[in-house]
Amino acid sequence: MVKTVIIEEAGGPEALRVVDRPVGDPGAGEVRITHKACGLNFIDVYQRSGLYPMTLPHALGMEAAGVIEAVGAGVTHLKVGDRAAYAATPPGAYAQARVMPAAQVCPLPDGISFEEAAAMMLKGLTVQYLFHRTTPLKVGDTVLFHAAAGGVGLIACQWARSEGITLIGTAGSDAKCAMALEHGAAHCINYKTEDFAARVRALTDGKGVDVVMDAVGADTFEGSLDSLKPLGMMISFGNASGPVPPFSVGILGQKGSLKITRPTLFTHIAEHETCQAMAAQLFGKVQSGAVKIRIDQRFALDDVAEAHRALEARKTTGSTILTP
Protein backbone atom coordinates (compact mmCIF):
# COMPACT_ATOMS: atom_id res chain seq x y z
CA MET A 1 0.00 0.00 0.00
CA VAL A 2 1.33 3.44 -0.92
CA LYS A 3 0.16 7.00 -0.45
CA THR A 4 -1.59 8.29 -3.56
CA VAL A 5 -3.38 11.60 -4.21
CA ILE A 6 -6.77 11.23 -5.87
CA ILE A 7 -9.87 13.25 -6.61
CA GLU A 8 -13.37 11.76 -6.41
CA GLU A 9 -15.04 14.82 -7.88
CA ALA A 10 -13.83 17.96 -9.63
CA GLY A 11 -13.33 21.03 -7.48
CA GLY A 12 -10.86 23.24 -5.64
CA PRO A 13 -7.76 22.15 -3.75
CA GLU A 14 -10.01 20.74 -1.04
CA ALA A 15 -11.03 18.00 -3.51
CA LEU A 16 -7.54 16.45 -3.24
CA ARG A 17 -7.43 13.37 -1.02
CA VAL A 18 -4.40 11.37 0.15
CA VAL A 19 -5.30 7.69 0.33
CA ASP A 20 -3.52 4.34 0.65
CA ARG A 21 -3.68 2.22 -2.49
CA PRO A 22 -2.18 -1.11 -3.56
CA VAL A 23 0.52 -0.87 -6.22
CA GLY A 24 0.59 -4.31 -7.85
CA ASP A 25 2.98 -5.72 -10.42
CA PRO A 26 3.66 -4.40 -13.93
CA GLY A 27 2.11 -6.11 -16.93
CA ALA A 28 3.52 -6.29 -20.43
CA GLY A 29 4.98 -2.94 -21.50
CA GLU A 30 4.80 -1.53 -17.96
CA VAL A 31 7.14 -0.72 -15.08
CA ARG A 32 6.76 -0.19 -11.35
CA ILE A 33 8.60 2.91 -10.18
CA THR A 34 9.18 4.12 -6.62
CA HIS A 35 9.13 7.91 -6.64
CA LYS A 36 11.78 10.06 -4.98
CA ALA A 37 10.20 13.35 -6.09
CA CYS A 38 7.06 14.41 -7.98
CA GLY A 39 6.43 17.51 -10.07
CA LEU A 40 3.62 20.08 -9.84
CA ASN A 41 2.14 21.60 -13.02
CA PHE A 42 -0.83 23.69 -14.12
CA ILE A 43 -2.26 20.72 -16.01
CA ASP A 44 -2.81 19.12 -12.59
CA VAL A 45 -5.00 22.11 -11.66
CA TYR A 46 -6.94 21.84 -14.93
CA GLN A 47 -7.63 18.16 -14.27
CA ARG A 48 -8.56 18.73 -10.63
CA SER A 49 -10.94 21.58 -11.48
CA GLY A 50 -12.66 19.71 -14.32
CA LEU A 51 -11.40 22.00 -17.10
CA TYR A 52 -9.77 18.85 -18.51
CA PRO A 53 -12.39 16.21 -17.62
CA MET A 54 -11.33 12.76 -16.38
CA THR A 55 -13.18 9.61 -15.42
CA LEU A 56 -13.44 9.80 -11.61
CA PRO A 57 -12.15 8.80 -9.14
CA HIS A 58 -8.64 9.30 -10.54
CA ALA A 59 -5.11 9.83 -9.30
CA LEU A 60 -3.37 13.09 -10.26
CA GLY A 61 0.14 14.14 -11.28
CA MET A 62 1.96 14.00 -14.61
CA GLU A 63 5.70 13.89 -13.83
CA ALA A 64 8.05 12.28 -11.33
CA ALA A 65 11.47 10.68 -10.87
CA GLY A 66 12.60 7.63 -8.97
CA VAL A 67 13.92 4.08 -9.19
CA ILE A 68 12.59 1.21 -11.30
CA GLU A 69 11.47 -1.61 -8.98
CA ALA A 70 9.96 -4.07 -11.48
CA VAL A 71 9.79 -4.41 -15.27
CA GLY A 72 7.07 -6.07 -17.32
CA ALA A 73 7.47 -8.23 -20.40
CA GLY A 74 8.70 -6.46 -23.52
CA VAL A 75 10.36 -3.51 -21.77
CA THR A 76 13.95 -3.30 -22.99
CA HIS A 77 15.10 0.29 -22.33
CA LEU A 78 14.80 0.03 -18.52
CA LYS A 79 15.83 -2.52 -15.90
CA VAL A 80 15.36 -2.98 -12.16
CA GLY A 81 17.47 -0.50 -10.22
CA ASP A 82 17.63 2.11 -12.98
CA ARG A 83 17.17 5.77 -12.12
CA ALA A 84 14.32 7.09 -14.25
CA ALA A 85 12.07 10.08 -14.84
CA TYR A 86 8.99 10.85 -16.89
CA ALA A 87 6.26 13.18 -17.97
CA ALA A 88 3.45 10.93 -19.15
CA THR A 89 -0.17 9.91 -19.20
CA PRO A 90 -2.22 8.63 -17.50
CA PRO A 91 -2.12 10.88 -14.42
CA GLY A 92 -0.93 9.21 -11.23
CA ALA A 93 2.47 10.70 -10.37
CA TYR A 94 1.33 12.11 -6.99
CA ALA A 95 2.19 8.84 -5.27
CA GLN A 96 4.94 7.04 -3.40
CA ALA A 97 5.01 4.42 -6.19
CA ARG A 98 2.98 3.36 -9.21
CA VAL A 99 2.69 0.93 -12.09
CA MET A 100 2.59 2.69 -15.46
CA PRO A 101 3.31 2.31 -19.19
CA ALA A 102 7.06 2.23 -19.80
CA ALA A 103 7.27 3.92 -23.21
CA GLN A 104 7.57 7.51 -21.89
CA VAL A 105 9.69 6.62 -18.83
CA CYS A 106 13.26 7.73 -19.54
CA PRO A 107 16.57 6.51 -18.09
CA LEU A 108 17.90 9.36 -15.94
CA PRO A 109 21.59 10.31 -16.24
CA ASP A 110 23.56 10.15 -12.99
CA GLY A 111 24.44 13.84 -13.13
CA ILE A 112 20.81 14.93 -12.72
CA SER A 113 19.17 14.64 -9.30
CA PHE A 114 15.74 13.13 -8.70
CA GLU A 115 14.46 16.54 -7.58
CA GLU A 116 15.77 18.26 -10.70
CA ALA A 117 14.27 15.56 -12.91
CA ALA A 118 10.86 15.73 -11.24
CA ALA A 119 10.92 19.50 -11.59
CA MET A 120 11.86 19.54 -15.27
CA MET A 121 10.43 16.65 -17.25
CA LEU A 122 7.05 18.08 -18.22
CA LYS A 123 8.29 21.66 -18.30
CA GLY A 124 11.55 20.93 -20.11
CA LEU A 125 9.95 18.66 -22.70
CA THR A 126 7.37 21.40 -23.26
CA VAL A 127 10.16 23.89 -23.99
CA GLN A 128 11.81 21.35 -26.30
CA TYR A 129 8.72 20.99 -28.46
CA LEU A 130 8.02 24.75 -28.42
CA PHE A 131 11.50 25.55 -29.73
CA HIS A 132 12.14 22.53 -31.96
CA ARG A 133 8.90 20.85 -33.05
CA THR A 134 6.21 23.52 -33.43
CA THR A 135 7.53 26.10 -35.89
CA PRO A 136 11.02 26.66 -37.32
CA LEU A 137 13.16 28.97 -35.16
CA LYS A 138 16.65 30.20 -35.99
CA VAL A 139 19.38 32.32 -34.50
CA GLY A 140 18.24 35.94 -34.32
CA ASP A 141 14.49 35.21 -34.15
CA THR A 142 12.45 36.96 -31.46
CA VAL A 143 9.97 35.20 -29.16
CA LEU A 144 7.45 36.63 -26.69
CA PHE A 145 7.07 34.27 -23.74
CA HIS A 146 4.39 34.83 -21.10
CA ALA A 147 4.88 33.81 -17.45
CA ALA A 148 8.63 33.93 -18.00
CA ALA A 149 9.45 33.46 -14.29
CA GLY A 150 7.47 30.22 -13.92
CA GLY A 151 8.83 26.71 -14.18
CA VAL A 152 8.44 26.49 -17.97
CA GLY A 153 9.41 30.13 -18.42
CA LEU A 154 12.77 29.99 -16.65
CA ILE A 155 13.75 26.94 -18.70
CA ALA A 156 12.60 28.74 -21.87
CA CYS A 157 14.68 31.84 -21.03
CA GLN A 158 17.82 29.72 -20.73
CA TRP A 159 16.99 27.58 -23.76
CA ALA A 160 16.51 30.68 -25.92
CA ARG A 161 19.81 32.16 -24.77
CA SER A 162 21.62 28.89 -25.51
CA GLU A 163 20.34 28.95 -29.11
CA GLY A 164 20.78 32.63 -29.98
CA ILE A 165 17.06 33.44 -29.87
CA THR A 166 15.92 36.75 -28.37
CA LEU A 167 13.28 36.11 -25.71
CA ILE A 168 11.03 38.91 -24.46
CA GLY A 169 9.30 37.75 -21.29
CA THR A 170 6.31 38.94 -19.33
CA ALA A 171 5.72 38.46 -15.60
CA GLY A 172 3.50 39.86 -12.87
CA SER A 173 6.04 41.73 -10.75
CA ASP A 174 9.35 43.53 -11.00
CA ALA A 175 10.95 40.77 -8.90
CA LYS A 176 9.73 38.09 -11.30
CA CYS A 177 10.96 40.15 -14.26
CA ALA A 178 14.39 40.37 -12.64
CA MET A 179 14.42 36.59 -12.28
CA ALA A 180 13.58 36.09 -15.97
CA LEU A 181 16.36 38.49 -16.97
CA GLU A 182 18.80 36.61 -14.72
CA HIS A 183 17.94 33.40 -16.56
CA GLY A 184 18.47 34.73 -20.07
CA ALA A 185 15.49 36.83 -21.15
CA ALA A 186 16.64 39.79 -23.26
CA HIS A 187 13.79 41.93 -21.88
CA CYS A 188 10.96 41.33 -19.42
CA ILE A 189 7.73 43.32 -19.19
CA ASN A 190 5.71 43.67 -15.99
CA TYR A 191 2.25 43.18 -17.46
CA LYS A 192 0.65 44.71 -14.33
CA THR A 193 2.26 48.10 -14.94
CA GLU A 194 2.71 48.13 -18.74
CA ASP A 195 0.76 47.33 -21.89
CA PHE A 196 2.89 44.41 -22.99
CA ALA A 197 1.80 44.54 -26.64
CA ALA A 198 2.76 48.21 -26.93
CA ARG A 199 6.09 47.55 -25.23
CA VAL A 200 6.81 44.62 -27.56
CA ARG A 201 6.23 46.90 -30.54
CA ALA A 202 8.62 49.47 -29.07
CA LEU A 203 11.28 46.83 -28.39
CA THR A 204 11.03 45.47 -31.95
CA ASP A 205 10.99 48.84 -33.76
CA GLY A 206 7.32 48.38 -34.53
CA LYS A 207 7.78 45.03 -36.28
CA GLY A 208 6.50 42.59 -33.66
CA VAL A 209 7.89 39.17 -32.75
CA ASP A 210 8.23 36.03 -34.86
CA VAL A 211 6.53 33.74 -32.33
CA VAL A 212 4.41 34.11 -29.19
CA MET A 213 4.46 31.26 -26.67
CA ASP A 214 1.44 31.73 -24.41
CA ALA A 215 0.39 29.46 -21.54
CA VAL A 216 -1.68 32.16 -19.81
CA GLY A 217 -4.70 31.92 -22.10
CA ALA A 218 -7.69 34.26 -21.86
CA ASP A 219 -5.96 37.27 -20.29
CA THR A 220 -3.15 37.55 -22.83
CA PHE A 221 -4.68 36.23 -26.05
CA GLU A 222 -5.58 39.49 -27.79
CA GLY A 223 -2.36 41.21 -26.76
CA SER A 224 -0.39 38.22 -27.98
CA LEU A 225 -1.90 38.49 -31.46
CA ASP A 226 -1.14 42.21 -31.45
CA SER A 227 2.51 41.45 -30.61
CA LEU A 228 3.15 39.34 -33.73
CA LYS A 229 4.74 40.46 -36.96
CA PRO A 230 2.94 39.60 -40.22
CA LEU A 231 3.00 35.83 -40.86
CA GLY A 232 3.93 35.30 -37.19
CA MET A 233 3.02 32.19 -35.21
CA MET A 234 0.89 32.17 -32.07
CA ILE A 235 1.46 29.07 -29.90
CA SER A 236 -1.29 28.86 -27.29
CA PHE A 237 -0.21 26.02 -25.00
CA GLY A 238 -1.99 26.63 -21.69
CA ASN A 239 -4.88 28.25 -19.84
CA ALA A 240 -3.54 29.59 -16.53
CA SER A 241 -6.04 32.49 -16.60
CA GLY A 242 -8.82 30.44 -18.19
CA PRO A 243 -9.42 29.07 -21.69
CA VAL A 244 -9.22 31.33 -24.73
CA PRO A 245 -12.79 32.33 -25.69
CA PRO A 246 -14.12 31.60 -29.18
CA PHE A 247 -12.87 34.01 -31.83
CA SER A 248 -13.38 34.64 -35.54
CA VAL A 249 -10.62 33.04 -37.58
CA GLY A 250 -10.83 36.07 -39.88
CA ILE A 251 -9.01 38.14 -37.28
CA LEU A 252 -5.82 36.24 -38.14
CA GLY A 253 -5.99 37.62 -41.67
CA GLN A 254 -6.77 41.14 -40.48
CA LYS A 255 -3.75 41.17 -38.18
CA GLY A 256 -1.24 40.06 -40.81
CA SER A 257 -1.98 36.53 -42.03
CA LEU A 258 -1.07 35.12 -38.64
CA LYS A 259 -0.83 31.42 -37.80
CA ILE A 260 -2.10 29.83 -34.60
CA THR A 261 -1.71 26.40 -33.04
CA ARG A 262 -2.84 24.76 -29.80
CA PRO A 263 -0.37 21.92 -29.12
CA THR A 264 -0.07 19.56 -26.17
CA LEU A 265 3.06 17.84 -24.93
CA PHE A 266 1.42 14.45 -24.91
CA THR A 267 0.88 14.46 -28.67
CA HIS A 268 4.57 15.17 -29.18
CA ILE A 269 5.81 12.42 -26.84
CA ALA A 270 3.27 9.76 -27.87
CA GLU A 271 5.88 7.79 -29.84
CA HIS A 272 8.49 6.05 -27.68
CA GLU A 273 11.50 6.91 -29.86
CA THR A 274 10.48 10.56 -30.20
CA CYS A 275 9.95 10.92 -26.47
CA GLN A 276 13.34 9.40 -25.66
CA ALA A 277 15.08 11.65 -28.21
CA MET A 278 13.39 14.78 -26.82
CA ALA A 279 14.39 13.78 -23.29
CA ALA A 280 17.97 13.17 -24.41
CA GLN A 281 18.17 16.74 -25.75
CA LEU A 282 16.72 18.10 -22.51
CA PHE A 283 19.17 16.08 -20.41
CA GLY A 284 22.00 17.35 -22.60
CA LYS A 285 21.00 20.98 -22.02
CA VAL A 286 20.98 20.42 -18.25
CA GLN A 287 24.20 18.41 -18.13
CA SER A 288 26.03 21.05 -20.19
CA GLY A 289 24.96 23.79 -17.78
CA ALA A 290 23.06 25.67 -20.51
CA VAL A 291 19.84 25.08 -18.53
CA LYS A 292 19.74 25.04 -14.73
CA ILE A 293 16.60 23.81 -12.99
CA ARG A 294 15.39 26.19 -10.30
CA ILE A 295 13.26 24.63 -7.53
CA ASP A 296 11.76 27.38 -5.38
CA GLN A 297 9.04 25.46 -3.54
CA ARG A 298 8.95 22.04 -1.86
CA PHE A 299 5.88 20.47 -0.27
CA ALA A 300 5.28 17.11 1.36
CA LEU A 301 2.82 14.91 -0.55
CA ASP A 302 0.40 15.30 2.36
CA ASP A 303 0.42 19.09 1.74
CA VAL A 304 -0.55 18.83 -1.92
CA ALA A 305 -3.63 21.05 -1.46
CA GLU A 306 -1.42 23.85 -0.12
CA ALA A 307 0.86 23.43 -3.15
CA HIS A 308 -2.12 23.78 -5.51
CA ARG A 309 -3.28 26.92 -3.72
CA ALA A 310 0.14 28.51 -4.06
CA LEU A 311 0.34 27.67 -7.77
CA GLU A 312 -3.12 29.03 -8.56
CA ALA A 313 -2.47 32.22 -6.59
CA ARG A 314 0.64 32.87 -8.75
CA LYS A 315 2.74 32.76 -5.58
CA THR A 316 5.28 30.34 -7.04
CA THR A 317 8.40 30.93 -9.10
CA GLY A 318 10.51 28.38 -10.90
CA SER A 319 9.49 24.77 -10.29
CA THR A 320 7.67 23.14 -7.38
CA ILE A 321 8.14 19.57 -6.22
CA LEU A 322 6.31 17.21 -3.90
CA THR A 323 8.24 14.76 -1.73
CA PRO A 324 6.47 11.41 -1.29
CA distances from 102 to 2, 57, 114, 279, 284 (A): 20, 23, 18, 14, 21
Looking at the domain assignment, is residue 129 inside a domain? no
Backbone angles phi, psi at 157, to 5 degrees: -60, -45
pLDDT value for 317: 87
Looking at the domain assignment, is residue 128 inside a domain? no
What's the CA gap between 148 and 186, in Å, rounded?
Answer: 11
Q: Domain check: are 212 and 249 in the same one?
A: yes
pTM for the predicted model, two decimal places:
0.94
35 forms beta bridges with: 66
Q: Domain check: are 227 and 253 in the same one?
A: yes
pLDDT value for 221: 96
Looking at the domain assignment, is residue 163 inside a domain? yes
Q: Domain check: are 189 and 213 in the same one?
A: yes
pLDDT band at 240 (very low <50, low <70, confident <90, very high): confident
Domain membership of residue 48 as a residue range: 2-123+266-323
pLDDT value for 251: 96
Q: What is the CATH number of the domain that holds 197?
A: 3.40.50.720
Q: What is the CATH number of the domain that holds 310?
A: 3.90.180.10
Q: Domain check: are 95 and 173 in the same one?
A: no
Q: Domain check: are 119 and 141 in the same one?
A: no
Residue range 97-125: average pLDDT? 97
pLDDT band at 304 (very low <50, low <70, confident <90, very high): very high
Q: What is the mean pLDDT of the chain?
A: 96
Q: Each residue of 34-59: pLDDT tens digit?
A: 999 999 999 999 999 999 999 999 99
pLDDT value for 160: 98
Backbone angles phi, psi at 196, to 5 degrees: -65, -35
Q: Domain check: are 149 and 233 in the same one?
A: yes
